Structure 1
Amino acid sequence: MPFRTVLFDVDGTLLDTREFVLTAFEHTLSTNGLPVPSRVELAKLVGPPLELLYARLAALGEADRLTAAHRAFQKEHLDLSVAYEGAADVLRELHGRGLRLAAVTSRSGMTSRRTLELAGLLTRLEAVISAEDAPALKPDPA
């Protein structure tokens, strides 16, 4: 049976978000008086939802506040996310073959859609499924 739909992750697949993510961590930690790990160490942490990451990096009870600060910084620096070379061509080719395309991310829908739009990729996607749309986030298999 041929497939009709292709799902893409956003961060690290369609968009190079390394600067976007790491700069936000560095800013959030440093402006809140917390130690800033090296970029190598920060990169090892990236993946799970922000709340879980900040729960590991900060004092008990600070995760929500730091997550909000992180998201506020990212909202003002969406330009740090850029499309990977060739991403637009791949989407155009697959769309031209009649395939349905969507993006799936554990990031917020607003920042995901806006960064995809700024990178010129959003118009090829029928949907962006984000953290707000899921009953559970990774690593939960649900």
Structure 2
Amino acid sequence: MKLVIFDCDGTLVDSQHMIVAAMDAAFASLGRPSPGRFATLSIVGLSLREAFERLTSPDDADIPALIEAYKNAFHALRADPAHTEPLYDGARMVVEALAAQGDVILGIATGKSQRGVRLVLGHHGIFDHFATIQTADDAPSKPHPAMIAQAMAAVGVGPEATIMIGDTTFDIDMAVAAGVAPIGVGWGYHPAAALHAAGARMVLSHFTELPAGLAAIWHPAGQGAMAGP
């Protein structure tokens, strides 16, 4: 069996508008200036505590209040039909095709909460395709390798048969630390050059390139092939 682990925000789901809006609202609620879009997107993928420590400072006394304000703002935005978290183009087709293959198990490793993952993936009707969901509720923040280690243990697949897919250097660093192959995606929140520098085996430009990318790692030099979507 093989395991493909996906990040969520910036990889499967485009949630940048909601993340930035919720972050702006959190800082505004405490009368503090917004960190700005670039800084906010640079920390997507981290746990909330780690994210706010990077946006402020590790000893900032406002961090607990900022975290609570961010959660409240994000939940309010999610309830507003004007705000959406769409799947990236091709994501559904590729996830469904991989899930239909008998020798591939799918997983999630994300800085989202379990509740958040269930809501967004359930909304798109793809939650049940993932056999293991690892979140910031259950493990240290990326780039610590615990989420990947827990995912592998949950489904009984070793690092040699596991690939991590993500859009940030936190995902790539986590994969390298866990001893699994990382694939970057170029449609998310960190630049492709940074993903390559962190150790990504490749950086995809569209979701439909993923099956060929997986095959190139699992079956190098034409040693078998993996069906496309």
Q: TM-score scaled by structure 2? A: 0.55
Q: Which runs of 5+ in 1 are unaligned?
A: none
Mapped to 2, the partners of 1:54 and 1:44 lie a distance apart of 11
Mapped to 1, the partners of 2:38 and 2:111 lie a distance apart of 22
TM-aligned CA deviation for residue 46 of structure 1: 3.4
What's 1:105 paired with?
Answer: 110
The aligned length equals 139
TM-aligned CA deviation for residue 42 of structure 1: 2.6
Mapped to 1, the partners of 2:116 and 2:42 lie a distance apart of 22
TM-aligned CA deviation for residue 141 of structure 1: 4.2
What's 2:44 paired with?
Answer: 46
Q: Which runs of 5+ in 2 are unaligned?
A: 147-229
Q: Specify the structure having the higher radius of gyration (Cα).
A: 2
Distance 1:96 1:141, change over 3 A: closer
Q: Structure with the greater relative contact order (CA < 8 A, sep ≥ 6): 1 or 2?
A: 1
Instruction: Give the counterpart letter for 2:68 in structure 1.
Output: A
Q: Secondary structure at 1:113's aligned position in 2?
A: helix
Deviates more, 1:6-15 or 1:52-61: 52-61
What's 2:73 paired with?
Answer: 73
Q: Secondary structure at 1:103's aligned position in 2?
A: strand
Structure 1 position 130 matched with structure 2 position 140: no
* RMSD (CA atoms): 2.0
Instruction: Give the counterpart letter for 1:92 in structure 2.
Output: E
TM-aligned CA deviation for residue 19 of structure 1: 1.0
Deviates more, 1:116-125 or 1:14-23: 116-125
> In 2, are the aligned partners of 1:52 and 1:63 still within 8 Å (CA)?
no
Instruction: Give the counterpart letter for 1:44 in structure 2.
Output: S
Mapped to 1, the partners of 2:130 and 2:45 lie a distance apart of 23
Percent of aligned positions with the same letter in both sequences? 27
TM-aligned CA deviation for residue 32 of structure 1: 1.8
What's 2:17 paired with?
Answer: 19
